[in-house]
């Protein structure tokens, strides 16, 4: 097994060689992947740029002839991801370390996101102090701020690259934590601050039944991470109480998990209970960042950095339709549960987002389109202990049914 070093060797060759030599000093076997496409590589790679672009379905000659740097980066990212995925399947990947600016970070982290959680992934990047979600995605990628641009070895870059080598060495040399003697089956649950009471109670019920509960904060990245783990076959059941990310995807909020949210469990036949937690809101940053087209809408200032916008009846109709259709497409046991008295801590009598019409429109769309999926309506608020307990018990019932199929 090897640690794979990824970089554009026409611009980062000396830096890659520096890290390679440090890792070799720790007794770690390395292999260098060249993702460059312009000038000749400064060092000899173990996996050439020709192999990288071939893995992307093109050639280095075609990329150079086109002369489009953006297209070259896209192809390189696809190529290294495909190569690393294949190498991991062959049991050859001990870890991945990348160096770069915007292009190098895009390329190397594409390879990292192709690997499962648990494989060490470290990116030394000029972008590590900014908006990093596009690079990290739903994987356990460590980002190290390069502080200076990675052009040559100097007083600063030498220290930063040394830290990177030491960190990767520790990750691959030190043994993992001692595993628990008997691993419990995993339940994935979705939570927001406004549905915390529900998940807290449901978690108690599920843990008492012998399950381990992974709680995902429904902030876009959380939903993506959950969907990824479900697709990887790690999750036994899903308590998808908080589907608020669907609202951000529909309306244009900041916490979307993308169009494939609420699909992995259904696609893979994993038992799931679906509810409508926090579908009363769309998330934005500070109030001044909310698009002007929404200026007449109802808002709740959660804090200085988070502004919540109430979803309309029409948006709720579309959300209900989406939930019903995605649930109906499930290949495994599934139930939808509706809390008739409100879907979040601020959607109930006397609170700022209380809107019976919007709730009823949401529920009507689900009632009319859920097909053969079991629909359970309870005269509770979503955070009532009775609703949480009922949702947890329903999932336990579906898990049992799934085992007996």
Is 178 within a domain? no
Which residue segment(s) compose the domain that 103 sits in? 2-173
Check whether residue 235 and residue 113 sit in a common domain.
no
Check whether residue 200 and residue 166 sit in a common domain.
no
pLDDT score of 151: 78
User: 310 - beta bridge partners?
Assistant: 281
Q: In sequence order, which residues have a C-beta less than 8 Å from that of residue 58 and are 6 or more positions away?
A: 75
Check whether residue 264 and residue 391 sit in a common domain.
yes
Contact 274, 243 (CB under 8 A): yes
Is 180 within a domain? no
DSSP conformation letters of 276-304? -TTTTEEEESSGGGS-GGGTTS-EEEEET
CA distance 120 to 115: 9
Helices assigned H by DSSP within 132-285: 133-136, 155-173, 196-208, 221-231, 245-251, 264-268
Least Cα distance to 398 among 206, 227, 254, 213 occurs for 206
Check whether residue 197 and residue 158 sit in a common domain.
no
Q: Let me know the angle formed at the C-alpha of 15 by 162 and 38, rounded to the nearest 5 degrees.
A: 160
Of 173, 206, 233, at which residue does a domain stop?
173
Percentage, residues of the chain above pLDDT 90: 78
Contact 11, 105 (CB under 8 A): no
Of 173, 208, 223, at which residue does a domain stop?
173
Is 219 within a domain? yes
Is 60 within a domain? yes
CATH of the domain at 240: 3.40.50.12030
Conformational region of residue 118, where left means phi above 0, alpha means psi within -120 to 50, and beta covers everything else: left
pLDDT score of 22: 96
Of 152, 173, 194, at which residue does a domain stop?
173
Check whether residue 272 and residue 161 sit in a common domain.
no
Least Cα distance to 216 among 231, 201, 195, 236 occurs for 195
Q: Which two tokens stand for residue 183?
A: 């691993």
Element (H, E) at 337: strand 334-339
Check whether residue 194 and residue 115 sit in a common domain.
no
Q: What angle separates helix 9-25 from helix 155-173, to the nearest 10 degrees?
A: 50
Contact 344, 281 (CB under 8 A): yes
Q: For residue 49, what are the CA distances in angstroms to 46, 250, 365?
A: 10, 40, 52
Q: Which two tokens stand for residue 384?
A: 């009532």
Q: For residue 142, what are the CA distances in angstroms to 76, 188, 204, 307, 342?
A: 21, 23, 32, 29, 39
| Ordered mean pLDDT values, 10 residues apiece, the chain (405 residues) | 93 92 95 92 94 95 88 94 96 95 92 92 90 83 88 86 95 77 84 94 96 93 91 94 97 94 96 98 93 94 91 98 97 97 95 96 97 97 97 96 67
Check whether residue 396 and residue 262 sit in a common domain.
yes
pLDDT score of 177: 72
CA distance 256 to 213: 23
CA distance 96 to 84: 9
pLDDT score of 134: 83
The tens digit of pLDDT for each residue in 349-370 reads 999 999 999 999 999 999 999 9
Check whether residue 289 and residue 391 sit in a common domain.
yes
Check whether residue 27 and residue 73 sit in a common domain.
yes
Phi/psi of residue 11, nearest 5 degrees? -120, -20
- Domains of the chain: total: 2
pLDDT score of 105: 93
Least Cα distance to 74 among 122, 112, 106, 49 occurs for 106
User: 274 - beta bridge partners?
Assistant: 240, 336
CATH of the domain at 156: 3.40.50.12020
Is 47 within a domain? yes
Check whether residue 150 and residue 209 sit in a common domain.
no
| Helix, strand, or coil (residue 93) | strand
Element (H, E) at 393: helix 385-403
Check whether residue 136 and residue 192 sit in a common domain.
no
Task: Quickly tell me which residue has 């495909």 as its tokens.
Answer: 82
Contact 270, 264 (CB under 8 A): yes
Check whether residue 160 and residue 200 sit in a common domain.
no
Element (H, E) at 339: strand 334-339
CB atoms within 10 A of CB 174: 8
Is 271 within a domain? yes
Is 371 within a domain? yes
Element (H, E) at 123: strand 121-125
Is 375 within a domain? yes
pLDDT score of 147: 85
DSSP conformation letters of 37-50? -SSPPSS--SB-HH
CA distance 250 to 240: 18
């Amino acid at each position: 097994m090897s640690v794979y070093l990824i970089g554009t060797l026409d611009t980062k060759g000396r830096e890659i060689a520096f890290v390679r030599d440090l890792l070799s000093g720790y007794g770690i076997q390395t292999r260098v992947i060249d993702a460059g496409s312009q000038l000749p590589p400064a060092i000899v790679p173990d996996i050439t740029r020709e192999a990288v672009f071939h893995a992307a379905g093109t050639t280095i000659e075609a990329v150079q002839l086109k002369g489009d740097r953006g297209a070259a980066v896209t192809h390189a990212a696809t190529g290294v991801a495909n190569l690393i995925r294949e190498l991991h399947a062959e049991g050859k990947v001990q870890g991945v370390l990348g160096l770069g600016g915007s292009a190098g970070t895009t390329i190397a982290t594409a390879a990292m996101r192709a690997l499962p959680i648990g494989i060490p992934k470290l990116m030394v990047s000029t972008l590590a102090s900014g908006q990093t979600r596009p690079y990290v995605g739903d994987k356990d990628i460590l980002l190290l701020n390069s502080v200076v641009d990675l052009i040559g070895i100097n007083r600063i870059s030498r220290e930063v690259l040394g830290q990177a080598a030491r960190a990767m060495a520790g990750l691959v040399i030190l043994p993992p934590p001692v595993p628990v003697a008997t691993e419990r089956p995993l339940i994935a649950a979705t939570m927001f601050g406004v549905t915390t009471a529900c998940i807290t109670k449901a978690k108690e019920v599920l843990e008492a039944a012998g399950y381990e509960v992974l709680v995902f904060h429904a902030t876009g990245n959380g939903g993506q991470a959950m969907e990824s783990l479900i697709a990887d076959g790690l999750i036994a059941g899903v308590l998808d109480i908080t589907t608020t990310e669907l609202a951000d995807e529909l309306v244009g909020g900041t916490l979307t998990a993308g169009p494939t949210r609420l699909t992995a469990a259904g696609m893979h036949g994993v038992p799931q209970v679906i509810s409508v937690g926090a579908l009363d809101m769309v998330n934005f940053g500070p109030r001044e960042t909310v698009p002007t087209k929404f200026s007449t809408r109802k808002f709740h200032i959660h804090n200085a950095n988070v502004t919540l916008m109430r979803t309309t009846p029409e948006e709720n109709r579309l959300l209900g339709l989406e939930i019903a259709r995605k649930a109906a497409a499930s290949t495994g046991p599934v139930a939808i549960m509706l809390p008739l008295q409100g879907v979040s801590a601020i959607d109930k009598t006397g609170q700022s987002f209380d809107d019976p019409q919007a709730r009823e429109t949401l529920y009507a769309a689900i009632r009319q389109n859920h097909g053969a999926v079991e629909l359970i309506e309870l005269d509770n608020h979503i955070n009532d202990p009775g609703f949480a307990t009922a949702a947890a018990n329903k999932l336990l019932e579906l898990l049992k049914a799934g085992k007996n199929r």
